[in-house]
Amino acid sequence: MVSRRDFLRSAALGAGVATFAPRNLPGLRGLDAAAPLDRIERAGLQLYTVRAAMRDDVPGTLARVAGIGYKEVEFAGYFGVQPERIRELLDLNGLTSPSVHTAIEILERDFDAQARAAKTIGHEMLIVPSLDTRTLTDAASWKAIAARFDAIGRKAHGAGLRFGFHNHAVEPRPLADGTVPFDVLLRETDPGLVDYQMDIYWMVKSGGDPLAYFAKYPGRFRSVHVKDATAAPALEMTDVGSGAIDWKQIFAQHARAGIRHYFVEHDNPSPDPFASIAASYRYLSALTF
């Protein structure tokens, strides 16, 4: 299986419903839901979910995504299509693309080209989606990552963009010495330079609490990845609304968290990715919180 990091290196520019859940898993159904107050007007999709279709037909894939009802898309590479053409396709289909996932090595090596592409396409934000964590074994190593994030964030700010980081399960999970990498990153980075994109599925999978992070670090989570999980102990990724995560409770805290964009994602939505994203869209677009 191709890892997301490898996928990004090759694709980047130039290169049934659960009705219960264990009470010890925060953010899962069974907790009290907030009164309906709001709804998502512009649901988004992380295009990694339909990456096979994007490889074959970028124009057709974007048209199908828009046809389902999505208004925003997040890129994970441009599949050899030039930024100007990407912007044309977005405009043609009534889509916008607030952000793109780009490997940290690419941003550090070739920031100016990535920023130019982002501005052409209309991205507001450059997001690092994952890290090689094999050598990140203590607080000092994660503080060094935070310093690198601030440096990229400073460049992004100068270019009129924002910079952020997307978590997986490793960051909210304590290291052997008790260090929680995600807390190190949030504490050590400048809120004016570095935002965060919380992947709700990986947060829950790691044993972390999305609501606790929203409360502890208000305003830091500019966007979220909306991925559902089956009930414990399996916690398998599933279409949004078909799992055990309490989306009402989580999204009721959107103002505290700072959430502006909601991107559906499923890493392996077989056998039919488009049926998967359609099911997730139907649930998400009807949800009130």
pTM comes to 0.89
Q: What is the pLDDT of residue 172?
A: 98
Domain membership flag for residue 35 = no
In this predicted model, what pLDDT tens digit does every residue of 256-275 receive, in sequence order? 999 999 999 999 999 999 99
Asked, for residue 26, whether it belongs to a domain, the answer is: no
Query: Rounded to the nearest 5 degrees, what angle is found at the Cα of 266, between the Cα atoms of 98 and 287?
Result: 70
Let me know if residue 209 belongs to a domain: yes
What's the rounded Cα separation, in Å, for the pair 32 and 22? 14
Domain range for residue 236?
Answer: 4-14+41-286
CB 102, CB 8: distance < 8 Å = yes
Please say if the pLDDT value at position 95 is more than 60.
Answer: yes
The answer to whether residue 36 sits within a structural domain is no
Assess if residue 57 is contained within a domain. Answer: yes
Whether residue 81 is predicted with pLDDT greater than 60 in this model: the reply is yes
CA distance 69 to 88: 18
64 is a domain residue: yes
Number of domains in the chain: 1
Considering the chain, what is the average pLDDT of its residues? 91
Quick one: pLDDT band at residue 166, thresholds 50, 70, 90? very high
DSSP state of 144: H
Say which residue the tokens 């964590």 belong to: 133
Residue 6, C-beta contacts closer than 8 angstroms, at least 6 positions apart: none
User: Residue 68: which CATH number?
Assistant: 3.20.20.150
Q: What six digits make up the tokens of 83?
A: 């930024």
pLDDT confidence of residue 34: 45
Compute the distance between CA of residue 24 and CA of residue 144 in angstroms, rounded to an integer: 33
pLDDT tens for each residue of 184-230: 999 999 999 999 999 999 999 999 999 999 999 999 999 999 999 99
For residue 29, being part of any structural domain is answered with no
Q: Averaged over 41-69, what is the pLDDT?
A: 98
Give the Cα-Cα-Cα angle 111, 113, 117 (nearest 5 degrees).
115
Instruction: Report if residue 30 sits inside a domain.
Output: no
Contact 254, 224 (CB under 8 A): no
Q: In this model, does residue 173 exceed pLDDT 50?
A: yes
Q: Which pLDDT does position 19 carry in this prediction?
A: 25
**For position 233, what pLDDT does the model report?**
96
Residue 11 is predicted with a pLDDT of 52
Per-residue model confidence as pLDDT tens digits over 97-107: 999 999 999 99
